Amino acid sequence: MKYKSQKVAYWFFALSLLLLTLQIVYGFVMGFARVGMDGLHEFVPFNTARAVHTNLLVVWLLSGFMGAAYYIIPEEAQRELVSVKLAYVQLITLALVGVVAIIGFHFNIWEGRKFLEIPRPLDYLVVINVLLFLGIILVTLFKGKRRTTTALVLSMGLFFAALLYLPGMITFDSQTMDSFFRWWVVHLWVEGVWELIMGGILSFLLIKLTGVDREVIEKWLYVIVGLTFLSGVLGTGHHYYYIGVNKIWIIVGGIFSALEPLAFLAMALFAVNMYRKGEKKHPNKLALYWTLGAAIVSFVGAGLLGFAHTLPQTNIYTHGTLVTAMHGHLAFWGAYAMIVFAIISYSLPNMTGRKLYESAIGRAAFWLSNIGMVGMTVAFGVAGVVQVYMERKLKMNFMEVQQEIEIHFIVLIICATIFATGITLFIIDFIKHGTPTDEALESNN
Amino acid sequence: MLSKKQARAFFLIGTLVTFLVFIGLTVYSLSEGNDQTNKENLTAEVVRGKEIWESNNCMGCHTILGEGAYYAPELTKVIDRRGEGYIKAILMSPVPWQPNGRKMVAYGMTEAEATDVISFFKWIGEIDLNGFERIVSPLAKDRFNN
């Protein structure tokens, strides 16, 4: 750690892990409901658990990205954050908005629009919160001694993520229009600007961990984010195939979605090549595991599984089935959860001064969570493919099919338990590092 | 070999061009002549039905136009499949509806509310979904073929 104000990142990461824990709890509520154990139905019906599960995902990832930015930007800009106090205000208000929204979901207070269930008054607070965050980051960057590509790409990602929240706040009478612009937020976030954030964090980590020249890494960063936008923006079309808009999207979405794996492939090759090329072997192996893991798993989860699901000829059958859940889980885990874990693993020893690089708990956390998530993806995938075949080919009734695929949800729960064990170990490792201290300033890398 | 400057130009120009094409396609596909949703049939009842649909987060269990959660049936062609009476009974039921043991929240809607939701489903059921409407609902598909 080079600047005192970087310590604020720790609390954003702590909030992230707390919300992730809650997300997993609600995931289990849904898993058990699917095998008939829905004793909580009266207090936490499936739609509540589902809204909590997905919204917590968004909030904990955003909190992780914000923490990453508060850690990375001072080092890149070579100065302290302009206001640590405001950063704490931003943290507390972010947590409050998240908690209030989640409590509201238990009392039927929501918008009922997939991923964007947060009710309107809270939307405005989210906007104010994010503006405050952006203000702190951009002013720090502006006043900084240098402006790097890494910092620029990361900030651009965060800025456009904030901007793209706005189309989700427009109301429409038509479900089709509603859906159309909802994807401007959700798709252009996860398959667009969030990848800028991921690329920025990845680039920072590779510079630190491999010692490869910044100019080389940042050049490839431009190529990758260029490929991301080139394929991802028009790839939005894969959400428009079958919602009641023109067929042009089947052609455009089909072609550009097929190109989307290229951006992820480039990212995976880039990370692995930089690692091979690097002469400096940073002792923080765990951070390296998570960094390379993010690049590789995101290629499989977001790139390959996404490609399999978004071909129009396939999607006409898989649209609106558990196949989506299969792709969604591995994609979010690989691309975003793992990169947040990577920056946590890298920055934590630097902020706390406790260099627990050879932690067996940390390694077990990596392997168990990954094995668990791959198992969950397979369980969702098998359930999804069987559902497609029975419901859409054999014309069986929805609930009959659900009973046939129940067994896969038992497998899902077992794999989710392995996953949750991995996450618990990660959190134990996080706690073992203790809290950040100014004494860690001397031991920077 | 590619320079950093060229890489930046690739990123900036590529992004700008794709965004412009995306906006152009959006304008084109949402233009009057390309409406596949029968916009003129969006009555006050349909809009109220959509509000009820959203305020209860029905998408948190069901799917509609193939979007939502996957815990309860797709409702795009539900009126075709089940008929109005069945749907109304579920929406107005004061106790949880539980086909094959899977529970739905008991909304206990009034007759007027249930009618609005049904109007919304009817409007949804008429949308041209580029062929998906024939895949999504097995029974509706049979009717199409007959």
A10 close to A75: Cβ distance less than 8 angstroms = no
> In this prediction, what percent of chain B has a pLDDT beyond 90?
84
* Interatomic CA distance for residues A300 and A261, integer angstroms: 9
Q: Minimal Cα distance from B64: which residue of A? A: A320
Based on the domain organization, do B61 and B127 belong to the same domain? yes
- C-beta of residue A167 within 8 angstroms of C-beta of residue A185: yes
Distance CA A61, CA B111 (A): 42
Residues B64 and B30 reside in one and the same domain = no
Residues B65 and B9 in one domain: no
- Whether B37 sits inside 8 A of A176 (CB atoms) is yes
Residue B52 sits in the same domain as residue B115: yes
Amino acid A442: pLDDT: 60
**Cβ contact (<8 Å) for A234 and B18?**
yes
Contacts 24+ apart (CB under 8 A), B1-9: B2/A219, B2/A223, B3/A219, B4/A149, B4/A215, B4/A218, B4/A219, B4/A222, B7/A219, B7/A220, B7/A222, B7/A223, B7/A226, B8/A149, B8/A222
Do B81 and B23 have their domain in common? no
Query: Residues of B numbered 82-111 whose beta carbons fall under 8 angstroms of chain A's beta carbons: which are they?
Result: 96, 99-103, 105
- Residues within 8 A of A (CB atoms), B 9-68 only: 10-11, 14-15, 18-19, 21-22, 25-26, 28-30, 34, 36-37, 39, 42, 46-47, 50, 53-61, 63-68
Report the gap between the CA of A246 and the closest CA in chain B (Å).
Answer: 5
Burial of A64 (0-12, 13-18, 19+ CB in 10 A): buried
The segments of chain A whose pLDDT lies below 70 read 442-445
Q: Collect all residues of chain A within an 8 Å Cβ-Cβ radius of residue B67.
A: 114, 179, 243, 320
Q: Supply the pLDDT for residue B143.
A: 47
| E strands present in chain B | 63-64, 67-68
Band the pLDDT of B139: cuts 50, 70, 90. low
For residues A315 and A402, the answer to whether their CB atoms sit within 8 Å is no
Which among B65, B68, B99 has the least Cβ separation from residue A244?
B65
pLDDT of residue B138: 58
Same domain for B42 and B29 = no
Same structural domain, B14 and B63: no
Q: How confident is the model at residue B144 (pLDDT cuts 50, 70, 90)?
A: very low
Which pair of structure tokens corresponds to residue B35? 């409406």
Beta bridge partners of B68: B63
Q: What is the mean pLDDT of residues B58-62?
A: 97
In chain B, pLDDT over 70 holds for what percent of residues? Answer: 93
pLDDT of residue B99: 85
Query: Do residue B119 and residue B133 come from a single domain?
Result: yes
Q: What is the reported pLDDT for B142?
A: 54
Supply B108's token pair: 């206990």
Q: Which of A337, A350, A415, A343 minimizes the C-alpha distance to A379? A: A415
Report the length, in residues, of chain B. 146
Q: Compute the distance between CA of residue A445 and CA of residue A170 in angstroms, rounded to an integer.
A: 46
Angle, in degrees to the nearest 10, between helices A46-77 and A8-34: 160
pLDDT of residue B145: 45
The full DSSP string for A251-301 is HHHHHHHHHHHHHHHHHHHHHHHHHHH-----S-HHHHHHHHHHHHHHIII
Residue B95 tokens, joined: 């106790």
For residue B89, the domain's CATH number is: 1.10.760.10
Clarify whether residues B77 and B25 are in a common domain: no
Same domain, B85 and B26: no
Residue B70 belongs to domain spanning? 37-145
pLDDT single digits (tens) A37-80: 999 999 999 999 999 999 999 999 999 999 999 999 999 999 99
CB contact under 8 A, A108 and B18: no
Residues B29, A219: C-beta atoms closer than 8 Å = no
Same domain, B62 and B126: yes
Looking at the 3D structure of chain B, how many domains does it have? 2
The reply to whether B48 and B29 lie within a common domain is: no
* B58: chain A residues, CB-CB within 8 Å: 47, 112
Reference A209, options A290, A297, A298, A264; nearest CA is A290
